[in-house]
Amino acid sequence: MAASQDRPLIVEWDAASRNDLDALLKQEGMVVVRYSGCEMELIRDCRAPGEYKYLAATRQDENITMRNEDELWAKLPLGAASLEGAVQRGGQLRIDMSVIGKFVGDQPILDLSRFRGSGCEGATHVVVGLTTGAFEMVSGADAAVSADAVVVGGTSRSSNETLRRAGDRASCEAATRADPQPPEGCGALLRLELEPVRCPPGAQFEAGKGCVGAKGETRLSLGGPGGQNDPLDAAFARVLLDASHAVLATVRGEPTPSGMTVEFRQSFDESRKPFQTLGPSAQFLLSECEIGFRRLEPGKEESMVVYAGMQVHGDGQLRWSNLNAFEVKEKTDGSVLVEQAPAALGDMHRHLVRSLTQESCRPTPAMRREDWAYLVPPISRMMDDGDLPNPRDAEETCAKVSTATGTWMIDPPECQVAFGTASQYGVTKIHIVPKPDGTILVKANVWEDVYDRN
């Protein structure tokens, strides 16, 4: 059986590499690799969002024999270079495997902008599946005979050399289709299933740079000045930026970003007036936004709300202004289930809840007041000391979020967006309403005034 490039065997990996992969499998997120030709490298400082779940299967035994170097390179491309000598010495190579299930990722198609970590720029593939079981690799003149076979008289064949072994094939006999995890002794990783890294709409992958926006579009930074952005921030910033650009595109009669439609509170002609005053050179400047996730608890009048404020710059940088949790009685129109919202909003929910429950309830990174110095004056003056991060009773807040029960909903993010030129700007208030079908409705209220930038 020839190897598939997106389903390579890894039985030739040394023990250290196999242990590294096993350790990464147990960590949060999905494994990311750099894969080119016949070389693969685990990227330890980059993770894709998602989780692995084990799916048990009926045990199957598989035998692969390689009699020359051509067959070796065809069936084991990742380890062929290191095993050529074994084939030359022994005449052939055989792998006996017992396959009992696999770990499967819950998000097989992933955008690079959603990854997190400092090494993501070199990522080419995500590991979306890992076949499990046990194997033995032997070389020698008798390797074409199963490693389990014996010669007449009951003695084992001693002319074979065992090169690699992981797990115990006898232990795999205990495996059943109902197993929640591989049985002890039969959990070795045998084969990977890979998916290429995908860039967000309007972006393309460039080696060493990651996902880069197409000409004329905002570029997303995966680690901006002072380390303000992480990849989850970048993915969320893309949603906020696309919503802002959708307003600008609609008043200009241009196509909106994929999956977004715009609805104006005023008439279309009234909505266009400030943009006509600004002229065709007007661009997105910045946006001040807030987003809330509420947990509807059965039998309770109050909802637990996780709330965050943030600022999005024209270059794609997102900086946090607040992060908190509290209980409220009022309801919000337009809330949808987290599971039904676009992926970037669902990821941001997990990001914020994790910040409150695992990071001492402190927003990271925090935005300082001096970060606002050069911004559009009327918007920046809306900030007061209560909007900036401040010490809180971390234990009490974390406990409330950690123990809350019920269904998580997303309140539509609300932003005040500044569009303008070097000398003037206008402001539009938008609500970003996620729809159950995964699309987004942008509700826009355009302020009629145009201001001087001074």
* CA–CA gap between residue 325 and residue 392 (Å, rounded): 10
Give the predicted TM-score (pTM) of the model.
Answer: 0.47
pLDDT for res 225: 31
Cis peptide before 365 (omega within 30 of 0): yes
CB 1 within 8 A of CB 75: yes
If you ran DSSP here, which 8-state letter would residue 371 be given? G
pLDDT for res 131: 94
Q: What is the pLDDT along the chain (454 residues), one digit of tens a residue?
A: 444 567 888 888 888 888 899 989 988 788 999 887 778 889 988 888 888 999 999 999 988 888 887 777 777 777 666 677 777 776 788 889 999 999 998 765 576 766 777 677 778 889 999 999 999 988 876 555 444 443 334 444 446 778 888 989 899 999 999 999 999 999 999 999 988 887 655 556 654 444 555 433 333 333 333 334 455 666 777 888 889 989 989 998 888 888 899 999 999 889 999 999 988 888 888 888 888 888 877 777 777 787 777 778 766 667 766 667 777 776 666 677 777 777 777 777 776 776 666 544 444 444 444 444 334 444 444 444 444 444 344 556 666 776 777 788 888 888 989 888 878 888 899 999 888 777 889 999 998 888 887 6
pLDDT for res 103: 93
- Nearest CA to 246 among 259, 232, 233, 265? 259
Pairing state between β 30-36 and 39-48:
antiparallel
Mind giving me the DSSP string for 62-79? EEEEE-SHHHHHHH-TTT
pLDDT for res 223: 33
* CA–CA gap between residue 139 and residue 93 (Å, rounded): 4
If you ran DSSP here, which 8-state letter would residue 252 be given? T
pLDDT for res 160: 74
**What digits encode the pLDDT tens for the residues 367-404?**
444 444 334 444 444 444 444 444 344 556 666 776 77
* CA–CA gap between residue 165 and residue 135 (Å, rounded): 6
With helix as H, strand as E and coil as C, how does 7-54 read? ECECCCCCHHHHHHHHHHHCCCCEEEEEEECCEEEEEEEEEECCCEEE
Query: What residue ranges in 314-406 does DSSP mark as E strands?
Result: 318-328, 336-337
CB 241 within 8 A of CB 312: yes
Burial class (CB in 10 A: 0-12, 13-18, 19+), 45: exposed
Pairing state between β 303-313 and 318-328:
antiparallel
Burial class (CB in 10 A: 0-12, 13-18, 19+), 60: exposed
Q: Where do the H-state alpha helices sit in 267-341?
A: 268-278
pLDDT for res 28: 79
Output the CA torsion sign for 361, 411, 229, 313.
negative
